[in-house]
Structure formats: structure tokens, C-alpha cells
Chain A
Amino acid sequence: NAGVTQTPKFRVLKTGQSMTLLCAQDMNHEYMYWYRQDPGMGLRLIHYSVGEGTTAKGEVPDGYNVSRLKKQNFLLGLESAAPSQTSVYFCASSYASQGFTEAFFGQGTRLTVV
């Protein structure tokens, strides 16, 4: 059982370039999230989705776009990369349920923008 898989694991971009990060989950989860992790800042929510075809903004959405065309996939796009987007990006997914909802994380994508 793969869980949450992120592609790619590492990437170096030049300022102004674009790229898409792919997240795939095989647990049939309704909810999916994209976070970025920066030293001393914890994990900050970029965008999230509560179901196929739906997306919403999180805490730090500027400069990013997302799409959820299939339930199992959640894509994060950077249209014009900036050095401030250098970070480690984590995708997560969870069940849609009342009460405790454990989020399962991927292994991360380390992105450097030069």
C-alpha cells in the first residue's frame, strides 16, 4: 500500500520557470492538502480540496494554483517561480469524517528556486 506519493522528490528551478508537483493517494480519501515547510515556520497550508473537482485557498495561496480532476490526484502548480517559493512541499490526505481525522503525508518535494 503506497499511501501518499509525491513526484518529483527534488527539483531546482530558475526564477520565472513553471512546474507542477503531483500528489497521488491510493486510500480513497476525500480530503487532500498541500503544505509548505520552512525553518521556524512549521507547516503552512497552501491549498486544499474536500473532493474531486473542488479546491480552496489555505493560509499562503499566493503564487500557487491547484487542480483536483481525479479523486486520487492533487496537483500543485507554480506558474512563475520565485526564490521565496524555495521550500519543502508536503501533500497530505485524510478521510472525510466526524471526530478524529488523521492526515497521511507524503515524503515531500524539496524545491529550490535560483
Chain B
Amino acid sequence: QQQVKQSPQSLIVQKGGISIINCAYENTAFDYFPWYQQFPGKGPALLIAIRPDVSEKKEGRFTISFNKSAKQFSLHIMDSQPGDSATYFCAASMEDNQGGKLIFGQGTELSVKP
């Protein structure tokens, strides 16, 4: 059972455009929603994260929008740059005494064309 569903699987955007990646989750107990960025040959690294008590979080060109009632959240990359080309993963976890383990979406391969 895939608890976090991510779309699209791949995305091509022109330089300067807006990249949008969407995720939906099932478990209402999730209370932490991070996005990870992965470059080829590297491990994922935390990009930005949000808690469900806010609807939006912005860090530079990266924004998370969160819709608790719809159980959906999305990543927006403004003014996309070729250096943003990477695989992006959404994830969710719940704070418990079982390690706060992350459940990941399937990933989106983003390519930003110059």
C-alpha cells in the first residue's frame, strides 16, 4: 500500500519557469511533510519541510503548499534553473516513539532546460 503518492513521474521545464510537483497522502496521523532533493550518484538531502498547522512555507525559490482537508501538498520551484535538475521526493512521517520514520513518494525527475 503506497501511503504517499507523487506525481508527475517526470517533468521538463524551461529555465525561468515554474516547476510544480504534487503529493497526496492517506494517513491523517502524518504530521511532518518534508521534500528531499537528490542529485545523480548522491543521497537525498532535505530541501524544505512543513507541519500541517500552516498552509504554506517558503524558502527562497522553493514553496510548499499544504491542503490538510484534501490531504495533499505540493512543491513549487519558482524561476527554475538548470541546477535544479534533480529527483525530488515528497515524504511524510508521524511523531511517535517508533523512530519518526519517513514514508516516501515515488519521486519526480525534474529536468530544467536552458
Contacts and interface: CB of A to CB of B under 8 A. Distances in A.
Interface of A: 4, 31, 33, 35, 40-45, 48-50, 56, 58-59, 90, 92, 94, 98-103, 105-108
Nearest to B2: A42
Interface of B: 4, 6, 9, 32, 34, 41-46, 49, 51, 89, 93, 95, 97-107
B71 to A, nearest CB: 18
Name the prevailing secondary structure of the A interface residues.
strand
B107 A108 contact: no
Contact of A94 (B42, B100, B103): B100
A101 B45 contact: no
- Summarize B's interface: helix, strand, loop or mixed: loop
A36 to B, nearest CB: 11
A48 B43 contact: no
B93 A42 contact: no
13 contacts: A35-B104, A40-B106, A41-B106, A42-B104, A43-B44, A43-B89, A45-B101, A56-B98, A98-B95, A101-B95, A103-B46, A105-B43, A105-B44
